[in-house]
Structure 1
């Protein structure tokens, strides 16, 4: 979203053979930061419903797990982007992300858009802005 709350781009990747949900969140963060870097977005507020990932990104906790290397890459990407902050967002407050992930799972595909969101996500973009 931009500073006016308008959806400008998004993506969802079909991830298979993952050990746990937190690893999926770490990979999603990594790929999301790649997208932000490609688009030249700044400043950036990264929201996730994974409290563990957000706490690690903010230096509140240290994680030693299989996805530690992924988070280290995320830190480097955030430094290259520049003005990046990380905040926890309850799952209920971000239906757009949930429905986008479900679409990739149900369609067994990766999905990326730039500009206006696809029709199946339009009501979610409006509802999420209304909650802000």
Structure 2
């Protein structure tokens, strides 16, 4: 498109440096994308096309409605992983890209469900921010996220605590070797964050999560007879016991720091990151957040 507008750019793919950049190359055929498609949809290995729209038509014709939704979500996570590699030099793991697609789709489905009573509650002032912002003076912000890895029957939690200047206090990763739903994982992540702030005896705390379902469930008062309900009730009690602790929903791009720790927690297994132990990629995310 840039070349069509007479912008002098190199046509070669900036990620693999092997072929000219095109839609089908970017989303389907370059090495990482091809491995993701083979892992998630081996039945599409026989689909051959020279352009993306022909490939998409053939692929969707072989899938049922739910599988089509999974395919669309996978295209998005492949594109996101490609951007992470190009802009942030973050190499994607095949299993992480595939499981991310499944997790996002499940969360979306849960959020759209008619039985989900939490989404009818109004946002609070401070909810829904798109970029990370510094908390008020004398307040500690704890960003939290969870990642479910079905291939490993595990879920990971990432927590990042920053002071009112936006600088890192600590980052913490926890790995749980069990398989649960994304909604339950997000609620457990918030419970871990609440317990962490209580253990550290931080006085005024803001906890941010990009799981609207979990945040509104904890804010609500409806009893829930399920494992999720038990975790939600634990979170409610922890919030009641800490009158200066607030919960807020933020959008994914405002929660990149915790998202990174959750995704990479296999590398940081049950570690506290601070000072010289902070990876370069994570430090870059923190610096980007500071610029907002």
Q: Give the TM-score taking structure 1 as reference length.
A: 0.83
Gaps of 5+ in 2: 1-161
Secondary structure, counterpart of 1:14 in structure 2: strand
49, 57, 69: which is aligned to 2:218? 57
Q: Which runs of 4+ in 1 moved over 6 A?
A: none
Question: What is the alpha-carbon distance in structure 2 between the residues aligned to residue 32 and residue 130 of structure 1?
Answer: 25
The correspondence of residues 14-29 of structure 1 with structure 2, limited to 5 A, is: 14-29=175-190
Q: Work out which of the two has the higher radius of gyration on C-alpha atoms and give 1 or 2.
A: 2
**Aligned residue for 2:204?**
43
Secondary structure, counterpart of 2:264 in structure 1: helix
Secondary structure, counterpart of 1:45 in structure 2: strand
Question: What is the alpha-carbon distance in structure 1 between the residues aligned to residue 278 and residue 268 of structure 2?
Answer: 17
Residues 108/127 of structure 1: CA separation in 2 closer, same or farther (3 Å cut): closer
Secondary structure, counterpart of 1:81 in structure 2: coil
Residues 114/68 of structure 1: CA separation in 2 closer, same or farther (3 Å cut): farther
Q: CA RMSD in A?
A: 2.3
Residues 114/37 of structure 1: CA separation in 2 closer, same or farther (3 Å cut): farther
**Aligned residue for 1:100?**
261
User: Residue 9 of structure 1 contacts residue 116 of structure 1 at CA under 8 Å; is this kept in 2?
Assistant: no
The number of residue pairs the alignment matches comes to: 130
1:126 aligns with 2:287: yes
Residues 111/76 of structure 1: CA separation in 2 closer, same or farther (3 Å cut): same
- 1:1-60: per-residue Cα shift (whole Å, max 9, x none)? 122222212212112322211111111111111111111112111110100011112228
Gaps of 5+ in 1: none
Q: Give the TM-score taking structure 2 as reference length.
A: 0.40
